[in-house]
Structures are given as C-alpha cells and as structure tokens.
Structure 1
Amino acid sequence: MTTTNTPEWVNQQLFTGLLKHNYNDFETIKKFMSTAAISGGENYLTIVLRIEIGMQMKDKSSKEISYILKIPLVSDRGDEHDFHDLFVTEADMYDRLVPELERLYEKHASISVRFKPAHLKFPENAPNCDYILMEDLRSKGYKNLERMFGLGQTEMRAVLKKLAQWHAASARRVADEGDYEEHYQKSYICPEQYKWIEQSNVTFNVPFLECMQHYELDPGQQLLISNYTARMTELYMDFGRISPSDFSVLNHGDFWCNNFLFNVNNGEIEDVCFVDFQLPKYGTPAHDLFSLLMTTPNMHIKLEQFDQFIEYYHEQLVNHLKLLKYERKIPTLPELHTNLNKHGLWAFVCAQRMLPVSLYPASSDSNIENFMGDSEMAMQFKRNILLNPSYVKQMKRILPWLIERGYIN
C-alpha cells in the first residue's frame, strides 16, 4: 500500500539494499507499506512518509521495522527545488552537529544524552534527490502531544530541561571546536535576505493588522502595534546579529510542539527527542525560548507561569553548563531576562505567525503557498488562521501582555 504522494523511487527494491546493509540475517521483504506519517495540514515544507516493512530472516523468523522518510514537496526535479538548502542543513545536523553535541556529554560528563532519532542513508542506488531517512520513534513509544490544546506544566518542564541540555552542549561545542560555520550564524536572518524578509513581513502584517480589531485592544495599543510592524524588517536585522558579549547557543530554530516527541511510560515522561533540524541559528537563546513559550504551553499557564518557565530553564542551563565543565561566563537569571527583553521581537513573531498555525485545525488549505504567499487565496488563509476563535481568545491576552512586558515597544 502506498500513498498518492509516494514517488516511484520509494520502493521495496531500494529498502532491500538498506536492510541487507543493516541486518546480517536479513533474507527478504514480505510486506512493504508506505503511508503518510503526518496528516494533511500538519507539515508545510515536506512530505513525511512512514515506511513499514515486514522482514523474513534467514532462520525463517519474522521481524517488523518502520522508518520515517522526509522528501521535498516537489520531489521529481532532483535538487532543483526551493527547499534544497533546508535538506542540506538538516542532513548536516543529523550527520555531524547533533552527534557532536551528544558526544560532549559522554566526554565531559560521562552520561548519555540523546537529542535526535537515528539517521540512515541508502548504501547503494541512492535516489538522486534530497531525502532524510530516520528511525521511526513511534515503535519505541515516542509520540507528539496535542498541539491545539497545549502542554501542561509537567510536559513543559521536560521540554525545557532537554532544551537547556541542548543549548548547554551547543555553547560548550564552541569552546571545543570553534565557531559554527557562517551558514549557522546567519541562517535566513541576515542582510542578504533583507528583501525576502521585507516581503514576508508585508505578507503577514497586512492581514494581521486587518484582523487586529478583533483582539479588543485599546486605540493606543493598536497604534503601538501598527507602528511596530512597520519597523519589523530592521528589527529582524538586529535580531539576527550575534553580540560577542552575550551568551549564545545553537538554536533549533523551529522549536514548537510538532518538532519534539515524548516517550511516556505509565504516565511518566522518560525522554524528549527533537526532530526537524532545518532552521538552526546560532545566537540568542531567546530564539528557541520564545518559539516554545509563545506557542506550546496551554493558555491557562502560558503567561502566568512564563517567568517560572524561564527560571526553570535557566536553572537547568546552569546545571548542564557546569556538568559540561563550561569555563566561559554563565549568564545570570537577570541577564537572561535582559536578553529576552532585547530580543522581544521574536515573542511577537512567534505569537503572530507560529501560534495561529499551532491552533488551527489540520486543513488542505494549510500549505506553504498559502502560508508564505500573497495571492488572494493565501491572504484569505492567513485571515482564517488569524480569526480562528481559539487564536483570537489567546491574542486578547497575549498582545497586552507583550506590551506590558516591553517585548513590543
């Protein structure tokens, strides 16, 4: 069985070579199924397939295995597609950078910390297009939690601890290996992308300002936000700059609940694992913190426990930097808050652009053309997600809170 989005090269013959390479006692494939691993409207940039295989081994016993395969939305043009650089980046993260971070814990702390699924490559007859092939963590009990309802305090603390481990290791890596390559320092938030960022800001800000009247702001707040959106491209440039005097980390870059999975056993969270390493950015930890805290907690705790979440993250960050024998200056909690205030733009960006996607029910309209485009259909899609009652309810509270905190100024 295959899905309509499965290209012809994803076939039994291709995976036979992979299984022969990884299993000495493999004999033949008895079952081969390709199905959508993520329902429509849950993934904007890629097609994600679950490959389920029933193997017969040389002793005639049976074994079941499954993989996750990510391929470009446009998969029949070789590398000539808009997302090629994202696949190159993600492959490098899986192959090189994330394993380096994991090894730092073994080297300096003698503990095992895992951040990602196992990454595999086809050993022979590899397809002539971009792909990311991973183990299927579902078979080990990992799962995404409900994005539209939001996570509770226990789940949030588990994610924040794992994020602090990641950030600590990424900072220690600089001490061990030197600076990250220019690509990771710039990502897409750099002067070379000025025109694209400017156009993207227009594409989002026009429908947002149209819908803002539904968020019950007073006239002064509306004027402040309107003026703020007019400055956003310059604020993006400021956000992308790396200050040598500030504590910096390698951010995941797209850190919300669809991009991490929980392993829950008897109601206890045993592990959190990250996926989708397509947009990493070296710089302020505000990048990941605002992405997570503006999108993922349940609204009942999102604002009320914001400071407690930051305090817990900082506590874990300090613990793990010390565990890794980090010898450079460790930021204090007040310094972390100062950094968040300095980079408050990202709190607004995540509330304006990531949160409406997180709260919107899966739909065939949820695609990259509508999310990034400026056609009438695309603009109407953005109006729809910005006027989703769940989103409107949250923004009535979030926008005044962002202003009060000084994140919008």
Structure 2
Amino acid sequence: MTDQATPKWVNKELFHGLLEQNNKNFKAILKFVPTSAISKGENYLTIVLRIQIEMQLNDSDDSTEDISYILKIPLVPEGEENDFKDMFDAELDMYDHLIPELEDLYAKNTAISPKFKPVHLKFPGNSVKIDYILLEDLRKKGYRNADRTQGLEQFEVEAALKKLAQWHAASAKRVVELGEYEKDIRESYFTAEHQKLLDEFNINFCMPFLECMQKYNLEPGQLVLISDYTSHLTDLNIEFGKNDPMELSVLNHGDFWCNNFMFKYKDDSEVEDVCFVDFQLPKFGTPAQDLFCMLMTSPKFSIKLDKFDHFIEYYHQQLVEHLSLLNYNRNAPTLAQFHTHLYRYSLWAFICAQRMLPIVLLPPDVDSNIGNVMGNSEEAIAFKRKMFLLPAYVDQIKVILPWLINRGYIR
C-alpha cells in the first residue's frame, strides 16, 4: 500500500463499537468519511487518515454530533518491513507507556499537568489484527500546525521550547523514579552494529550535497573543511549516540521539528498550548539532539541564527525550573556548561541543517517519499539535488554553514 487509500477494514462497523463504548448517548453512525489527514510530501513512514463521523444521539429529538479521529497505520515499503515496523512499535510504546509515565510525574509531584500527546484510544475487543494508533483529532480542539515553509515566530519557538523543557525534565526524573530506559531507546541506531546503514545514509546525502555545495558561495577553506568533516560522519554519529553518565541525559523526541508539534493559539501573538505528535524516533541521550533539530529547521530564518543564543538560554531556564519543580536531585548544568555540552554534540546541528532543513523548506512535492529521501537511485539522487539547490534552502545554508564553522560546530 503506497498511497493514502483507506484499507477495507477501516469502516463504519469498526467505529460503531468504539463510539458505543465512549459515548453513552450514541445511537447510530449517519456519515462515515475517511480522508488522508496529510498531503503528499508531508509524511514518509505512515498512512495517516482523518476519520470524520456524524453520529446520531439517543435523545428525545435524535440530535446529531460530529466527531473526528486520526488513525495511523504503518506504511511499509517492499523489503523494508523490519526497519519501519520497529519505528511504529516504538511509537506505540511511547503512547501506551512512556508518555503516560512522564505526564504522571507532573501529576504526582507538581501543581501543573502538562499533556504531551493527543488522547490515545483503542478499538474494543481484538477486532483489528494490524498495528494501528488511534488518536483524538487535535484540530477539533483548535490545534494546528504552523506553516513549515514560512518558519516559526519567536513566541512560537519559545512555546515549543518550554514544552520541550517540561518533557526533557520529566524524562530525566523518570530515570530516578523508574530506572533506565530500554536498550533500543538508549542506543537507537547510533551504534557500531548500524555502521553499514549509517555509511549508506551518509554517502547518499553527502555525494549530492558536496556537489551542490559549490553553489553556496563558500570560501575555498570552508569547502575543504566541510568536505573533510563529512568523511567522518559515521564515526561522529556513533560517538554522538554514547551517553555520558556525568552529563544530563533526557528522552529526546528524536524528530522535533514544526510538523511534529501542534499549536493552540490564544491570539496572534500568544500560544495557549503545544502538543507533540509522531514519536517514532525516541532516543535517550543529549538534549542537543532535539534542540539542534528544532533550532536548525523551524524558526523563521530572520531569527534562526540571531536569536539562537537567546533560545538556548530560554530553554535552559525552563529546563532548570522544571527539574527543580519535579525535585530532581541531581545537578542540572549551568548555562555555560550547557553551551560546552552543545559544542561537544554539535554534529546534530550540521545533520539537521544538511538533511532536515531542505525537506522542511521543500514545497509539497509528489516526488517526496522515503525512497527518494533515503535512497541512492537515479531518481533519489536527482530529488536530493533538487532539494539542495532549492532557492529557499540555498539562501539559508550559505549563511548557516559559515555560522556553524565560526562557532566551532563544524571542526
């Protein structure tokens, strides 16, 4: 199944039992409309359906109510079942166990109760024989994604960073309360066992990138430095994945950019809440992973670099505040220590600027699929060249790369 077609098992009968279980006044389904929840080029690993239902209520005047759900199903390319199934299983475990644990830590220890995920539901009984994730539709509560190609305003970045700091703080406290995360979350794919996979990813991205980099108006010394740096990426990835027990480690969302969180706005300049979605790549380790992912991809370019240090200071302040709120009894890093930490783990700034930023800036595109993003076919290489030469990307990357070099993040 390579498109967003609705599987036959996703039908009115399946949802009848769910509605009966969750709505005491439910009488019947009048309309059942499944549609793709995400446009082409916005999603790579799952089928995401929006299920819109008009239900009749069992009351004196047979009134009706509209309800909407989001249903996620694995999108499994031929021959790649295991890799992608593992990611879907990881997300299921996040919804079922880990995120409720983080939310419970706030409920037990503090006067605040941040929610990190949409309400997660299950169909009654064992009628569904395939993996699925069924969620409330956050749009019904007024949440929406920002426009990824335009970038986030400062107040939106700060709202997302505050929620991220709350998440990271709880995830550190969870280790104290409940013990270590499982090995797959501690290591993810940043290990010597995944060296072949990492080599392939790095070659598939770096060959077209180094070719296109000649168009970025860089100085000869910068071109040489970046070219040399990319030749060490596999070793740097494996080093990046190691957790230092002397440093603060957190549960990273792992894919923290603006498509993967939704805003509920109070008005044009204030966010009421941020809710995270898409938990397929969790990794316990340096908070630099989520921070660099967010800050290299999602803010408006006019503030991305100019406000970088402000955003780090704001996140650090929120992190320390929420660690204290949760009675975390280990030392939180000072701001100076945290900047040293970011320097140590700066690989992720380059990775996100090189690989994620062009995807963020690319308009919805029919060629944008997991095969073209990760692969090395002629079509995939042509697609990556198109990304790396996209004018919106060139405008940013020709400034970002010298900035990364000047900060010592590429060295």
The answer, yes or no, to whether TM exceeds 0.5 is yes
Residue of 294, 297, 300 corresponding to 2:296: 294
**2:16 corresponds to which residue?**
16
Distance 1:364 1:81, change over 3 A: farther
Aligned to 1:226: 227
Aligned mates of 1:10, 1:76 — CA distance in 2: 22
**What is the letter of the counterpart of residue 12 of structure 1?**
K
Q: Compute the displacement of 1:110 (Å).
A: 2.6
Find the counterpart in structure 1 of residue 377 from structure 2.
375
Match of 1:363 in 2: 365
Task: Please point out which of 388, 391, 405 is paired with 2:390.
Answer: 388
- Map of 1:162 onto structure 2: 163
Q: Name structure 2 gaps, 5 residues minimum.
A: none
Question: Quick check: 1:27–1:55 contact (8 Å CA) kept in 2?
Answer: yes
After superposition, what is the alpha-carbon deviation per residue over 1:254-307, rounded to whole angstroms, capped at 9, x for unaligned? 000000000013333100000000000000000000000000000000000100
Aligned CA distance change for structure 1 residues 305 and 135 (closer, same or farther; 3 Å): same
- Report the TM-score when normalising by structure 2: 0.96
Q: 1:360 to 1:115 in 2, by over 3 A?
A: same
Deviates further, 253-262 or 129-138: 129-138
The structure 2 residue matched to 1:304, chosen from 290, 303, 306, is 306
- The aligned length equals 406
When residues 110 and 15 of structure 1 are mapped into structure 2, their CA distance, relative to the original with a 3 A threshold, is same
Mapped contact 2:265–2:271 kept (Cα < 8 A)? yes
1:108 paired residue number:
109
For normalisation by structure 1, the TM-score amounts to 0.97
Q: Distance in 2 between matches of 1:262 and 1:319?
A: 22
Report the identity percentage.
60
The whole-number CA distance in structure 2 between the counterparts of 1:311 and 1:356 is 26
| Cα separation, 1, equivalents of 2:267 and 2:338 | 35
The match for 2:57 is: 57
Q: Structure 1 residues 213-222 or 105-114, which shifts more?
A: 105-114
Map residues 5-404 of structure 1 onto 2, 5 A cutoff: 5-59=5-59, 60-74=62-76, 80=81, 82-267=83-268, 268-404=270-406
3-state DSSP of counterpart to 2:48: strand
Query: Secondary structure of the residue that 1:254 maps to in structure 2?
Result: coil
The amino acid of 1:39's aligned partner reads S
- Answer whether contact 2:4 2:48 (CA < 8 A) is retained: no
Q: Are the equivalent residues in 2 in contact too, given 1:14–1:125 (CA < 8 A)?
A: no
**Mapped partners of 2:292, 2:225: distance in 1:** 21
Q: Is the partner of 1:209 in helix, strand or coil? A: helix
Shift of 1:44: 1.0
Structure 1 stretches of 5 or more lacking a match? none
C-alpha deviation, 1:63, in angstroms: 1.1
CA RMSD for the aligned pairs?
Answer: 1.5
Is the alpha carbon distance of 1:108 and 1:349 closer, same or farther for their aligned partners in structure 2, counting shifts above 3 Å? Answer: same
Q: Deviations over 1:92-146 (max 9, x none)?
A: 1011100110111111113211111011111134322221110000000000001
- List structure 1 segments (4+ residues) > 3 angstroms apart after TM superposition: 74-77, 79-82
| Counterpart residue identity of residue 38, structure 1 | I
